[in-house]
A and B are shown apart, each in its own frame.
Chain A
Amino acid sequence: MAFSRRHFLLTSAAAGLASACAGSREQMQSARGPIADRTLAEVLERALVAAKRAGASYADARLVRRRNENVATREDHVVTVASGESYGIGVRVVAKGAWGFSAASKVDGAVAEAVAQRAVEIALTNAKLQKRPVELAPVPTYRASWATPTKVDPFTVPLADRAAMLLSIWPEAKAVAGVKFCSAWCEALGEWKLFASSEGSLIEQSIVRLGAGYQVTASDAATGDFVTRESELPPRQTGWEYIASAPLRADARRIAEDAVAKLRAPSVVPGKRNLVLTPSNLWLTIHESVGHPTELDRALGYEANFAGTSFATPDKLGKLKYAAPHVTLYADKTVPGGLATCGYDDDGVKTQKWDLVKDGLFVGYQTTRDQAGWIGEKASRGTSYAEDYASIPFQRMPNVSLAPGAKAGVGLAEVIAATDDGILVSGNGSWSIDHQRYNFQFGGQTFHEIKGGKVTGPLRDVAYQSNSVEFWNSCDMLGDEKSWELHGSLHDGKGEPSQTNAVSHGCPPARFSQVNILNTRGGSKS
């Protein structure tokens, strides 16, 4: 919703900077803060000068404003109407070859200088335990802006309208006998940032992310048994027009029927089965078994104390048969609507698209400026990101996607028709993967038996468990470009302290041969 804002920038010289950044005036206007200086760029410049004066060989400074608005409902009533915002400055430096960082929520020139000095002090302290000096891959300087293309700013949509949309789901869901509960939500996230580096870049970006969904619970009063079924609308970087035109209400009865059908479905018999995965399920498997393993910091041990390391170590680059020969998986921070899409990363590197697995072979990593040299690359892939002003930028996952199959005319129906015996999985259920990304176990929202090329009925209690490389090498069928869908998550965690990143994954429906199916109530049969 639209709120009254102070217009401190409109009359300042910052309006000049804003007008230099096409379409950014409104974002600049809403970047509130008690500011004593004439422009935001000047604040950043004072931080950079102070850092250099204190001994930094490199410095960057970011002003970041984040907003979120959430509405949640339960059956016929609203349970949450909430908004939040944070604003501040974060300064990152390299001094004596070590990183240092400091941040403050008050934004003015004096604070910016103090923060910069603190960052340098921290770097100088830590330099004592720095064995390899930080080396940054070169990057061109940019004076540029980038913004999510939107038609309707979600923050201008009245919260009552958003609540009404969510409340319209329950009457549809409860019309299905056996449905007992329904919770629904929608979330809007706004991120505005102004980045300046001691190398001369000045980059303004404004990003809007949206998500909405619901969960229906069906139960059996006689047995006390219950199951849930979640909707599958992908979150996107987009305007409100995306949610407004989404079939949330239209799908509610079908989702509710799915829940009841799952409740009454036979429990799966464990064993090796062919798997047909829809894009709404496969995206998360890509995220966990390809996205995280190809993060270079993980592969080299920099996340060892938390998320773990990776089986995809640099010695396997160009050698490891990661997937079947017709499988290509790529990183892309430019795909329209992608949650990790932007113009420039938080190192000030222009974003790009590149292969991670090409024709089945492991060929690429996700890198940042300080990592590129670790594997002999001359330039960063542009994957640095910090959650907010107070977070330290580090390597975060770009959108990582599975390329569609080359054969046209293959969609989900054709994949099912070509499958004599298998299980169809749609949506995301429980997921878990080990700390080197070998062993994973994923559930789903709906499961159906496939016999003789036809879906014969629902199943329940299904999880598939495999090893990442075995799994991707077992891929024997891909849908075409028309069947390719972009799904994703608004909240992917990494790092210590943990930071959230939003990321999308595109894929067609795909089939995997003889994967271990578990019954989540009764264990496995290998």
Chain B
Amino acid sequence: MSTTLQMRDVESTLETLLDLSKKYAHGAEASAHVHGWHSANTRYARNEITSSGDTESMQIRLELAFGKRRAESSTNQTDAASLRALVERTAAMAHLAPEDPELMAVLGPQTYAPAPVLFDDATNAFGAAGRLTAIEGSVAAAEGRSLDGAGFYEHWSSLHMRGTSAGLRAKRSETYAELTATARTKDGTGSGWGGAASHKADEIVGSAIGRTAAEKGATSKGPRRLEPGKYTVILEPAAVSELLQSLFWSLDARKADEGRSYFTKAGGGTRVGETLFPKSITLTSDPADPLAPGAVFDDDGVPLAPTAWIDQGTLKNLRYSRYWAAKQGKAATGFHDTLRLHGGDAKSPADLLTGVKRGLLITRFWYTRWLDPRAMLITGLTRDGVFLVENGAIVGPVNNFRFNESPANMLKNIDAMTAATVRTPGEGGHWHVPTIRTNDFNLASISDAV
């Protein structure tokens, strides 16, 4: 079922809300955010569908400020009475709220770069039958190797609009489709994974994703036991994305300035300008990046300009909120949703095996958690396929591990990457990363999980 939501409904709701704010919250600065969406999903496990559903809704969020007193409130009810109640409730809350010295005035009209087209009509019209077809393809791949397939297909259509009493108006629309699949051997000793994300559902090919998961699942059967230690590892894109999440989060200027970050300079200040990584490392956010397109404004309405966080190994930028930028005399960067780790020279993932005397190929990670933000140290586990590599070739599957490692070290120790980057599921499909090879990766203990 395609959504019945239209951008004009989102726009009119926003304008009504701002009008009501002017009328029932006299003197307040108002900032409104309306997000309408239709989402649908199908889950399967043990090669059959286990649940499936859809929903359509609108979230209406209002922030009101009287001087430095601010509050925000939200509802999913769109009738005029509910919108008025939202305004009155938010105003009452703001009047009661203590002053927030960090509160910034709402933004006025902004100039945004042309937005990449991320709304696909065919995906908007996608439904249960389309999901079923993709899942049938994935399940067939699992059954073809006598495996148990489990997976999840989700797609949504999303319409955002943001506006303020100072005249800001910003809107964007986006569709998204994602299928992830796991295939496990009947004896429970092997498990593989595959997944893809795109704003176009027709780029999500269930049979191909299922084949990737099934191939990994079948070949990971009966892993041999390998001791923990420091290994050269080849990390597939899903694993790279997982570790980059912690690093991306750490690129916060305020945390660095306050001494609470890996990017804090000894003695105070930040490490911007320092060459922290090899020259091959470039990490950027660019809404217009054809490989990893995304939003041209953030949740606050701040324009998102192309930003190099790390340029050829040198830390170039940290993320600045409007408040912290004003306080530090910098420009606000906004909160990007895109990220691209630029690739290297390797023509294919298989090329990364060349020259590896003894190492591991890792499919993905799971349950990563912080251990020490100052050292950017995190823990987590490998999952769905770890393979021993000896003398440039895959020898066979090995057990899973818990790692205790720093994503910064992961980048520091990279010695090869694929030229091609891929869009990884999660993060709204806005992240593009290569397969990488990195050294001295600390696998701290064995996990018996499969």
Instruction: Give the interface of A toward B (CB within 8 A).
Output: 1, 3-6, 32-34, 77-88, 90, 92, 98-106, 118-119, 121-123, 125-126, 128-132, 158-160, 163-164, 167, 180-181, 217, 219, 221, 224-226, 300-306, 308-309, 311, 390, 392, 394, 430-439, 441, 443, 461, 463, 465, 467, 496-497, 516, 518, 520-521, 523-524, 526
Contacts and interface: CB of A to CB of B under 8 A. Distances in A.
A465 to B, nearest CB: 6
B374 A78 contact: no
Contact of B150 (A217, A301, A497): A301
Main secondary structure of the interface of A (DSSP, over half): mixed
A82 B71 contact: yes
A226 B400 CA distance: 32
Contact of A85 (B75, B136, B258): B75
Given A301-B46, A432-B380, A434-B400, A521 B375 contact: yes
Nearest to B90: A83
Given A122-B128, A302-B50, A439 B446 contact: yes
A437 B56 contact: no
Contacts of B258: 180-181
Given A131-B47, A430-B370, A523-B442, A306 B55 contact: no
Interface in B239-294: 258-260, 264, 266-267
A497 B41 contact: yes
Contact of B49 (A126, A438, A465): A126
Interface in B102-153: 102, 128-129, 132, 135-136, 139, 148, 150-152
B449 A84 contact: no
B368 A4 contact: no
A159 B85 contact: no
Contact of B97 (A160, A304, A430, A524): A160
Interface in B43-75: 43-59, 61, 70-75
Contacts of A217: 260
Interface stretch (B10-18, B176-184, B389-397): B176-184
Given A77-B102, A86-B59, A105-B77, 4 more contacts: A34-B77, A77-B99, A301-B45, A305-B152
B55 A390 contact: yes
Nearest to B80: A34
Contacts of B1: 118
A308 B97 CA distance: 43
B88 interface: yes
Contact of A305 (B55, B56, B100, B150): B150
A181 B151 CA distance: 43
Nearest to A313: B188
Main secondary structure of the interface of B (DSSP, over half): strand
A4 B48 contact: no
B55 A81 contact: no
A193 to B, nearest CB: 15
A437 B449 contact: yes
B445 interface: yes
A141 B395 CA distance: 59
Contacts of A99: 49-52
B444 A523 contact: yes
A76 to B, nearest CB: 9
A432 B445 contact: no
A521 to B, nearest CB: 6
B402 interface: yes
B51 A394 contact: yes
B420 interface: no
Contacts of B375: 521
A166 B129 CA distance: 51
B131 to A, nearest CB: 9
A159 B367 contact: no
26 contacts: A32-B77, A81-B93, A81-B96, A83-B71, A83-B72, A83-B89, A84-B74, A87-B77, A102-B55, A105-B76, A126-B49, A128-B136, A129-B139, A167-B98, A225-B374, A226-B260, A304-B148, A305-B43, A308-B449, A309-B188, A430-B379, A434-B366, A439-B446, A463-B379, A496-B41, A524-B445
Contacts of B400: 434
Contacts of B61: 84
Nearest to B94: A81
A439 B381 contact: yes
A171 to B, nearest CB: 14
Contacts of A219: 259-260
A289 to B, nearest CB: 13
